Amino acid sequence: MRTPYKNDGDYCWGGRNWEFASDYQKEWLEKMVDRGWTVPTWPKEYGGAGLSQEEARILGEEMKALCCRPALQSFGIWMLGPALLKFGTEAQKLEHLPKIARGEIRWCQGYSEPNAGSDLASLASRAEDRGDHFIVNGQKIWTSYGDKADWIFCLVRTDTAKKHTGISFVLFDMTAPGVRTKPIQLISGKSPFCETFFDNVRVEKSNLVGSLNEGWDVAKYLLTHEREMIGAMGEGALPKTLLQMAIEAAGLDDQGRLADPQLRSQIAEFDMDEASFHATLARFAELTKSRQAHPAMSSLLKYYGAELNKRRWELIMSAAGSHALEWESARSSHGELARCWLRTKGNSIEGGTSEVQLNVIAKRILELPGA
């Protein structure tokens, strides 16, 4: 658990059907859960450690210094958990948050639809009121790991009178009758995304988060956390530095520098931009702590973090040379570098396209006039 990830199988997502890659992975998760360190800032009654943001930051720094892997990856931790802490009832918090903290339930997100992507508020999936429950019909798309998730947090239309105020936020089990998923294959040859279909799915009203028809408020709050999560990719986590990989591929010149001067310059520029982004994330954390952070700053972090990660993988491909283009060989771990590089192309689409984030930044932060 103090060695770099080799591939996707080294990540622990948890869930009802999760199979641990090793006894070490299982033990590591159990030890972190016992201390509440999978969600260190959550209250202890919900499975956390009750740490302050400052204490959690120090914990993260120490874990990183020890090269410790995160014990649990989770959309429940990154997105749903914060939304439940703010909008959920006490019963919903006690029911779902401890399971998220322990990695017992794996969640997916039901937001985008075939005709409701960037204009998410135009979603058409319906939830019909049947007294003590809803009946949900419709379709979602780009549902990350929908085929592996246990539960879904989902936006549905409960009133057609108004676009934004007729949306509700509901939770339901992916094994419920009427739920079906279909993987979407990407150019990387792998598929974290799915189409998700709902055919007369029963959803109890106790699983309505927030007020009826006011799910857009919950959705917007959750999106800020999703964009911060995607933006954090800008920091990266690689077993070797870009420079080390470039030296292995291109060698050193007679002065002990990377032999390729153009690549050397590009890596130096990237390292400076990455350091600046890291400082920006730290500043955002301090502004959030003092309640001075601009609500739209998550769009800034998402945009720059996604674009920075794409640049990182372009440089990785350049640094690794022709070997990086291998697709099926055992030496290349079945094309791990090439597939990861292709996967990053989706970073500027998921969680809100880069174009949409730039519009938000221009309007909300820079206060530029509209067209």
What are 46-61's pLDDT values in tens digits? Answer: 999 999 988 998 999 8
User: What does pLDDT average to over the chain?
Assistant: 91
CA dihedral 224, 227, 229, 234 (to 10 degrees): -140
Mean pLDDT of the 183-208 span: 93
Mean pLDDT of the 120-124 span: 92
Q: Are 36 and 50 in contact (CB under 8 A)?
A: yes
5, pLDDT greater than 80: no
What whole-number distance in Å separates Cα of residue 201 and Cα of residue 176?
7
Reduced to 3 states, what is the DSSP secondary structure of residue 198? strand
**Multiple choice CATH, 236-365, 2.50.20.10, 1.20.140.10, 3.40.50.720, 1.10.730.10:** 1.20.140.10
**Multiple choice CATH, 107-213, 3.10.20.740, 2.40.110.10, 3.40.50.170, 3.40.640.10:** 2.40.110.10
What pLDDT band is residue 180 in, cutting at 50, 70 and 90?
A: very high
What whole-number distance in Å separates Cα of residue 215 and Cα of residue 164?
9
62, pLDDT greater than 70: yes
Instruction: Burial-class residue 185 by CB neighbours within 10 Å (0-12, 13-18, 19+).
Output: exposed
Q: pLDDT by residue (tens digit) across 257-311?
A: 988 899 999 999 999 999 999 899 888 888 887 888 888 888 899 999 999 999 9
Q: Of the spans 181-190, 212-221, 240-249, which averages the highest pLDDT? A: 212-221
Q: Do domains 107-213 and 236-365 have the same CATH topology?
A: no
Which residues have CB under 8 Å from 61's CB, separation 6+?
none
Structural domain boundaries of the chain?
8-102, 107-213, 236-365
Which residues have CB under 8 Å from 83's CB, separation 6+?
153, 169, 209, 218, 221, 222, 225
Domain covering 8-102 in this structure, CATH number: 1.10.540.10
pTM as predicted: 0.85
Return the pLDDT at 233. 62
Return the pLDDT at 235. 59
Count of residues making up the chain: 371
Reduced to 3 states, what is the DSSP secondary structure of residue 33? helix
